């Protein structure tokens, strides 16, 4: 691990077993996240973004078939921690998460304040009164009135509920927060409000984010770094300023060309074909069946090398074989 | 043949809210005095936040929901007073595509049956002719080879493929007018363009008209000739897409545009300008201009007098006291 990195992930795998076959959802990925910065993890549905989050949170489903890799968080090697230690020291303490659609998963019969306080009471042994006071503070920090603590979820709007979910992820004072499509159920204006809040919290608290989304326009709202996932692998990663301006991987280029732009006149195109079946991914580069630049006899046979293009900018593609340092 | 395929005049759709069993406590005024016209081969994007009445307006135009007041003309013929039997003949010519292809397609039907069903309902063709029509329509929506897809069940398809099935089903009766209610918002960003381009292609081929309902003004820019912005049951601005986006007049339209990011890494250094508050309760909307409690330019007149749509330049109308 290098100085100033809050998260380092090396060779992370997460496979599931499903009806007799193995789903290779996260298949040997490595990346790092500098302190106080945000990494956008982008890609189409089913590319392994959310599985990466689950692997980092160690919230593994019962059908997990393979889970391995080295993960360091906040200077601590968490790979070999027992479940007990991970629960005590890491989950919610160092890394927490806002789940996709969580705003609709709030418990309808519990007051909001108690729901925010719950992890403090159950996981960290706070007294109820103490925890509720911290929850109220957390609600205030995400721009809600303290009185919301006494409300039930149905009394709140979608935007307010999402704020509650963010308060939940922050009440335990983590360093890293995983945001899994945190605005996908919200209206455009509410989305902008939530993004503003996330920007402000990042700055005020020095938080680091892993921001999971399929929307490259939205990801640019927070991302200092971008990692592009395809078929369980990271195909390109690097600083946002690099990736948005001069993307290298054909997949990232095509993905960018599919995003409508309000303030620029560019024509849109799409990526023909469909993402691979992770039970039986294509050999070689997983993108080769859809890639207009594929080199026969190479891309369809051998996995591409990871090439360093510039500082912190890596691409896994045969087209850049010559440029490796 | 009329130039306009659908036209609405001062359309109102109110839903009664009951308290107890009989007493009507009030009305949700989902559509409250909307006039619009869509020409043949044209797309009108209807943009606004959830709960502004977009979907109700779409359904009312198709008479899936009965209007409370106002008039609807389809291909020059008034359909507001028609009974269901007379409507059935017209139903072939108008249809709807829904937001959620996971919910709008019967999971127990295979793709063939999903697409064939409208033909059956309207008693069109022999079995052989129907098979041919279904296969042709699968090809049209690029689910090839069609024989393979015809046998599949919805759960075996991706979101994009499912929406193609929904499109094939909508098109099988060769309609003139389609209400597409957020047809791409559940799909991946990369698949959205694919589906929108397909809808465009089919529009050219069959001279279709679309009402494209969306909250995403960015896709509206690429997909529609005209944009109508709806707020709290009313259209507040309408005009050619390029004009509305380059020169938005209504503060609400501006707010919607400001809220949408382009893919630009410098976004992370800005705090976006956002209007305060949330859309009003449609049972009891604010007096005067319905946007006034959230508007950064509110004047005294906005609180008391409702602004009417006014043509500011050719084809560009806005309902705002600033103009």
CA angle B144, B101, B171 (to 5 degrees): 60
pLDDT tens-digit profile of A193-218?
999 999 999 999 999 999 999 999 99
Asked if residue B197 and residue B126 are part of one domain, the reply reads: no
Among the partner-chain residues A159, A221, A258, the one whose CB lies closest to the CB of B261 is A221
| C-alpha–C-alpha distance, residues A296 and A248, integer Å | 19
| pLDDT category of residue B22 using cuts at 50, 70 and 90 | confident
- Degrees to nearest 5, angle at CA B285 with A105 and B13: 85
Which of A217, A221, A255 lies closest to B190 in CB terms?
A255
pLDDT at A2: 57
Final residue before a domain boundary, out of B172, B194, B217? B172
Whether residue A199 sits in one domain with residue A64 = yes
CATH code, domain with A274? 3.40.50.300
Q: Do B83 and B163 fall within a single domain? A: no
Measured in angstroms, the CA of B191 and the nearest CA of chain A are apart by 7
**Cα within 13 Å of Cα(A36), Cβ side:** 7
Q: Using the 3D structure, point to which of A142, A173, A204 is the last residue of a domain.
A: A173
pLDDT of amino acid B159? 87
Within this chain, do residues A72 and A188 fall inside the same structural domain, yes or no? yes
Same-domain check for residues A169 and A180? no
Share of chain A above pLDDT 90, in %: 87
In a domain, B51, yes or no: yes
- Is residue B40 within 8 A of residue B23, CB to CB? The reply is no
Q: Please judge whether B274 and A199 are an interchain contact, meaning their C-beta atoms are less than 8 angstroms apart.
A: no
Question: CB-based contacts of B22: which residues, under 8 Å, 6+ apart?
Answer: none
The shortest CB-CB distance from B275 to any of A189, A215, A222 is to A189
Tell me the per-residue pLDDT of A26-38, one tens digit each, with 9 for 90 and over.
999 999 999 999 9
Composition of chain B by helix, strand, coil, percent to 5: 35, 25, 40
Does residue B5 lie within any of the structural domains? no
Minimum CA–CA partner of A186 in chain B = B50
d(CA B137, CA A195): 42
Contact state of B268 with A222 under an 8 Å Cβ cutoff: yes
Choose the final residue of a domain: A138, A173, A208: A173
Whether A184 and A110 map to the same domain: the answer is: no
Q: In this complex, how many residue pairs, one in chain A and one in chain B, have their CB atoms less than 8 Å apart?
A: 121
Mutate to test the interface with A, among B47, B243, B263, B270 (most CBs of A within 10 A): B263
Reported for A251-258, long-range contacts at CB under 8 A and 24+ positions apart, including other chains, are A251/A287, A251/A290, A251/A291, A252/A228, A254/B190, A255/A42, A255/A216, A255/A228, A255/B189, A255/B190, A256/A216, A256/B263, A258/B189, A258/B190, A258/B192, A258/B193, A258/B194
| Average pLDDT of the residues in B221-233 | 96
Is there a single domain that holds both residue B121 and residue B270?
A: no
The pair of structure tokens assigned to B220 is 């509206």
Quick one: DSSP state of residue B29? E
Chain A, nearest residue to B189 by Cα: A215
Nearest to B215 among A159, A188, A258 (CB): A188
pTM: 0.92
CB contact under 8 A, B190 and A263: no
Going by DSSP bridges, is the β-strand pair B4-19/B23-39 parallel, antiparallel, or unpaired?
A: antiparallel
Paired strand residues for A33:
A7
Identify whether residues A250 and A296 lie together within a single domain: yes
Whether residues A266 and A295 fall in one domain: yes
The residue of chain A with its CA nearest to that of B255 is: A189
Q: Which domain holds residue B139?
A: 95-172
Q: Are residues A237 and A302 located together in one domain of the fold?
A: yes
Does a structural domain hold residue B12? no
Q: Is some CB atom of chain A closer than 8 A to the CB atom of B100?
A: no
Asked if A188 and B217 come within 8 Å (Cβ–Cβ), the reply is yes
Using the Cβ of B1 and the Cβ atoms of chain A, whether some distance falls under 8 Å is answered with no
Range of the domain at A270: 5-94+174-323
Classify the C-alpha dihedral A69-A70-A73-A78 as positive or negative: positive
Task: Say if B267 falls within a structural domain.
Answer: yes
B272 neighbors B41 (Cβ within 8 angstroms): no
| Same-domain pairing of A189 and A261 | yes
Cross-strand partners of B148: none
| Whether A117 contacts A135, CB under 8 Å | yes
Residues B152 and B194 in one domain: no
How far is it, in rounded angstroms, from Cα B50 to Cα B155?
A: 28
Q: Are residues B121 and B209 in the same domain?
A: no
CB–CB of A240 and B197 under 8 A? no
A37, A225 contact by CB (below 8 A): yes
Do B188 and B250 belong together in one domain? yes
Q: What is the pLDDT of residue A273?
A: 87
One domain, residues B221 and B293: yes
In a shared domain, residues B294 and B220 = yes
Could you tell me if A188 and A288 lie in one domain? yes
Structural domain ending residue among the three candidates B141, B172, B203: B172
The reply to whether B114 and B189 lie within a common domain is no
**Closest residue on chain B to A269 (Cα):** B193
Q: Which element (helix H / strand E) includes A202?
A: helix A188-205
Q: Looking at the complex, does the CB of residue B155 fall below 8 Å from at least one CB of chain A?
A: no
| pLDDT at residue B189, rounded to an integer | 83
Count other Cβ atoms within 10 Å, centred on residue B84: 8
CATH of the domain at B214: 3.40.50.300
**The pairing of beta strand B77-78 with beta strand B69-74:** antiparallel
Tell me the shortest Cα–Cα distance from A171 to chain B, in angstroms: 24
Q: Are residues B142 and B264 in the same domain?
A: no
Query: Are A146 and A290 within one domain?
Result: no
Q: Is A63 helix (H, G, I), strand (E, B) or coil?
A: coil
- Domain edge (last residue) among A147, A173, A199: A173
Minimum Cα–Cα distance from B244: chain A residue: A262
Is pLDDT of B259 > 90? Answer: yes
B66 touches A: beta carbon within 8 Å: no
Which residue do the tokens 């501006």 mark?
Answer: B254
What percent of chain A has a predicted confidence (pLDDT) above 70?
98
Probe site for chain A from B144, B189, B217 (most A CB atoms < 10 A): B189
- From B159, B217, B271, residue closest to A196, measured CB to CB: B271
Q: How far apart are CA B199 and CA A318, in angstroms?
A: 35
Is B28 inside any structural domain? Answer: no
The CA distance from B81 to the nearest CA of chain A, in Å, is: 36
H-helix or E-strand containing A219? helix A216-219
H or E element, residue A169: helix A158-170
Mutation for testing the A interface, residue in B99, B100, B188, B223 having most A CBs under 10 Å? B188
Residues B250 and B230 in one domain: yes
Is the CB of residue A48 less than 8 Å from the CB of residue A229? yes
Considering chain B, what is the average pLDDT of its residues? Answer: 93
Q: Judge whether B128 lies within some domain.
A: yes
**Residue at B16 is within a domain:** no
DSSP state of A4: T
B177, part of any domain: no
Domain count, chain B: 2
Cross-chain residue pair B255–A274, CB shorter than 8 Å: no
Indicate yes or no: CB of A260 within 8 angstroms of CB of B197. Answer: no
Chain B hits for A272, CB-CB cut-off 8 Å, are 194
- Cα B118 to the chain's mean position, in Å? 21
- Number of domains forming the structure of chain A: 2
DSSP B155: G
Please indicate, yes or no, whether residues A27 and A113 belong to a single structural domain of this protein.
Answer: no
If asked whether residues A16 and A81 sit together in one domain, one would say: yes
* Vertex B64: Cα angle to B58 and B65 (nearest 5): 80
Instruction: For residue A222, list chain B residues with Cβ-Cβ distance below 8 A.
Output: 268
CA B287 remoteness from chain centre? 27
Provide the ipTM.
0.89
Residues of chain B neighbouring A196 (CB-CB closer than 8 A): 271-272, 274
Report residue B103 as tokens: 């919910």
Q: Does B264 touch chain A (CB under 8 A)?
A: yes
| Strand pairing report for A208-213 and A176-180 | parallel
The crossing angle, in degrees rounded to 10, of helices B111-121 and B127-140 is 120
Same domain for B139 and B247, yes or no, is no
Once rounded to an integer, what is the mean pLDDT over residues B152-157?
91
pLDDT digits (tens, 9 = 90+) for B34-92: 999 999 999 999 999 988 999 999 999 999 999 999 999 999 999 998 998 899 889 99
pLDDT in tens, chain A (325 residues): 456 899 999 999 999 999 899 999 999 999 999 999 999 999 998 999 999 999 999 999 999 999 999 999 999 999 999 999 999 999 999 999 999 988 888 999 999 999 999 989 988 889 999 999 999 999 999 999 999 999 999 999 889 999 999 999 999 999 999 999 999 878 899 999 999 999 999 999 999 999 999 999 999 999 999 999 999 999 999 999 999 999 999 999 999 999 999 998 889 999 998 899 999 999 999 999 999 999 999 999 999 999 999 999 999 999 998 876 5
Contacts of A39 in chain B (CB under 8 A): none
Residue B174 has pLDDT above 90, yes or no: yes
Q: Residue A11 and residue B148: Cα distance in Å, rounded?
A: 39
pLDDT band at residue B99 under the 50/70/90 scheme: confident
């Amino acid at each position: 691990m290098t100085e100033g990195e809050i998260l380092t992930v090396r060779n992370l795998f997460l496979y599931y077993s499903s009806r007799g076959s193995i789903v290779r959802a996260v298949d040997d990925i490595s990346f790092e996240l500098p302190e106080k910065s945000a990494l956008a993890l982008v890609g189409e549905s089913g590319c392994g973004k959310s599985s990466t989050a689950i692997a980092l949170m160690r919230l593994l489903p019962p059908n997990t078939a393979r889970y391995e890799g080295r993960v360091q968080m906040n200077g601590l090697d968490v790979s070999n921690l027992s479940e007990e230690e991970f629960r005590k020291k890491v989950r919610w303490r160092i890394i927490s998460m806002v789940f996709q659609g969580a705003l609709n998963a709030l418990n309808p019969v519990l007051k909001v304040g108690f729901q925010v306080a719950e992890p403090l009471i159950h996981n960290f042994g706070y007294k109820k009164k103490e925890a509720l006071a911290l929850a109220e503070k957390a609600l205030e920090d995400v721009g809600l009135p303290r009185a919301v603590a006494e409300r039930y979820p149905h009394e709140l709007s979608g935007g307010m509920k999402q704020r509650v979910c963010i308060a939940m992820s922050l009440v335990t004072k983590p360093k890293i927060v995983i945001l899994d499509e945190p605005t996908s159920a919200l209206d455009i204006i509410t989305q902008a409000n939530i993004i503003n809040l996330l920007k402000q919290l990042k700055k005020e608290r020095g938080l680091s984010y892993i921001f999971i989304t399929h929307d490259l326009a939205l990801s640019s709202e927070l991302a200092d770094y971008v990692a592009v996932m395809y078929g369980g692998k990271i195909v390109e990663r690097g600083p946002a300023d690099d990736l948005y301006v001069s993307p290298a991987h054909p997949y990232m280029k095509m993905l960018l060309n599919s995003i409508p732009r309000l303030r620029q006149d560019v024509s849109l195109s799409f990526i023909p074909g469909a993402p691979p079946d992770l039970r039986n991914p294509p050999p070689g580069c997983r993108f080769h069946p859809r890639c207009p630049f594929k080199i026969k006899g190479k891309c369809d046979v051998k996995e591409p090398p990871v090439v360093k293009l510039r500082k912190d900018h890596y691409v896994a593609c045969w087209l850049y074989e010559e440029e490796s340092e | 043949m009329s130039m306009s395929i659908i036209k609405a005049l001062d359309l109102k759709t109110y839903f009664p809210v009951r308290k107890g069993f009989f007493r009507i406590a009030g009305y949700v005024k989902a559509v409250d005095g909307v006039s619009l016209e869509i020409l043949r081969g044209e797309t009108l994007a209807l943009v606004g936040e959830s709960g502004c009445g977009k979907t109700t307006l779409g359904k009312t135009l198709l008479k899936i929901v009965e209007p409370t007041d106002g008039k609807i003309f389809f291909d020059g013929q008034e359909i507001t007073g028609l009974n269901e039997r007379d409507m059935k003949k017209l139903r072939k010519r108008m249809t709807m595509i829904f937001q959620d292809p996971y919910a709008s397609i019967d999971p127990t039907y295979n793709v063939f049956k999903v697409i064939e069903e409208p033909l059956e309902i309207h008693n069109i063709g022999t079995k052989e002719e129907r098979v041919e029509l279904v296969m042709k329509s699968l090809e049209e929506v690029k689910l090839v080879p069609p024989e393979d897809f015809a046998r599949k069940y919805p759960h075996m398809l991706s979101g994009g493929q499912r929406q193609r099935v929904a499109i094939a089903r909508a098109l099988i009766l060769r309609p003139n007018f389609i209400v597409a209610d957020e047809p791409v918002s559940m799909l991946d960003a990369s698949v959205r363009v694919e589906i929108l381009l397909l809808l465009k292609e089919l529009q050219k081929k069959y001279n279709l008209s679309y009402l494209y309902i969306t909250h995403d003004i960015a896709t509206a820019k690429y997909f529609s000739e005209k944009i109508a912005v709806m707020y709290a049951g009313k259209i507040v601005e309408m005009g050619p897409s390029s004009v509305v986006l380059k020169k938005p007049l209504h503060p609400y339209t501006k707010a919607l545009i400001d809220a949408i990011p382009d893919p630009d890494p410098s976004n992370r250094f800005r705090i976006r300008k956002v209007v305060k508050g949330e859309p009003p309760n449609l049972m009891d909307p604010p007096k005067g201009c319905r946007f006034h409690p959230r508007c950064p330019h509110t004047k005294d007149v906005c609180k008391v007098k409702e602004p009417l749509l006014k043509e500011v330049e050719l084809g560009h109308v806005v309902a705002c006291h600033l103009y």
